[in-house]
């Protein structure tokens, strides 16, 4: 059995893309990613247990523009294309197993008038994630997000939407005057 998961970078962050401003960022990978994959495959494969697909009630915010949308809308075009290829391969595997069933169950009876073509042995792979964005810590939800290295405007928390000062690191100086006796 092969694992189907969105790729993460060396620190466990998954790439996302805002459906409105089209800027890319990264958030920590987690259970939401598995649910996104499950829902996507569930929409593109025919099966009977639709009630087993996780509901999409998680909403996220864009760290750049603050746009709010359901978790499924944040996949990059590359992730969508890869998930489509995975769904295609899994669909072929399902059809193959369905067509092979008569061959396995008929025994000595006359054979069917078709030949089942086996699917590929492996699922398509997506390239691994680069460590190409700047990490920014958000105190509101104790989360980290990775944004473009040149981004110096406010950053919105992907989880709650709170706005944070996102400029480059600031230096704080403390001047202490000596006490007069």
Distance CA 135, CA 33 (A): 20
Q: Are 83 and 42 in contact (CB under 8 A)?
A: no
Q: What average pLDDT does this structure show over 53-62?
A: 82
Give, in order, the Cα–Cα distances in Å from 104 to each of 33, 90, 98, 110.
37, 21, 10, 12
What are the pLDDT digits (tens) for 84-140? Answer: 999 999 999 988 988 888 777 776 666 666 677 888 888 888 888 888 999 999 999
- Cα–Cα distances in angstroms (integers) from residue 69 to residues 41, 59, 61, 116, in the given order: 20, 5, 7, 42
Count of structural domains, the chain: 2
Does 61 reside within a domain?
Answer: yes
What number of other Cβ atoms are within 10 A of residue 133's Cβ?
Answer: 19
**Neighbour tally for 151: CB within 10 Å:** 18
Residues 25 and 62 in one domain: yes
Give the pLDDT band (50/70/90) at residue 38.
Answer: confident
Q: What is the pLDDT of residues 142-172, one digit of tens each?
A: 999 999 999 999 999 999 999 998 554 444 4
Distance CA 34, CA 44 (A): 16
Given a cut of 50, is residue 12 above it in pLDDT?
Answer: yes
**Residue range of the domain that includes 52:** 7-75+135-171
Q: What percent of the chain has pLDDT over 70?
A: 87
One domain for residues 63 and 144: yes
């Amino acid at each position: 059995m092969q694992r189907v998961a969105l790729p993460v970078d060396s620190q466990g962050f998954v790439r996302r893309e805002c459906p409105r401003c089209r800027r890319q960022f990264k958030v920590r990978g987690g259970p939401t990613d598995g649910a996104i994959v499950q829902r996507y495959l569930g929409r593109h494969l025919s099966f009977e247990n639709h009630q087993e697909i996780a509901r999409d009630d998680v909403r996220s915010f864009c760290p750049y523009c603050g746009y709010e949308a359901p978790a499924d809308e944040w996949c990059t075009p590359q992730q969508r294309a890869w998930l489509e290829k995975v769904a295609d391969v899994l669909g072929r595997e399902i059809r193959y197993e369905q067509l092979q069933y008569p061959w396995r169950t008929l025994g000595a009876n006359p054979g069917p008038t078709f030949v089942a073509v086996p699917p590929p042995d492996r699922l398509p792979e997506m390239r691994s994630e680069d460590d190409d964005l700047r990490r920014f810590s958000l105190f509101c939800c104790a989360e980290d997000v990775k944004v473009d290295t040149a981004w110096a405007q406010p950053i919105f928390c992907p989880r709650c939407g709170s706005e944070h000062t996102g400029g480059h690191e600031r230096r704080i100086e403390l001047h202490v005057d000596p006490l007069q006796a």
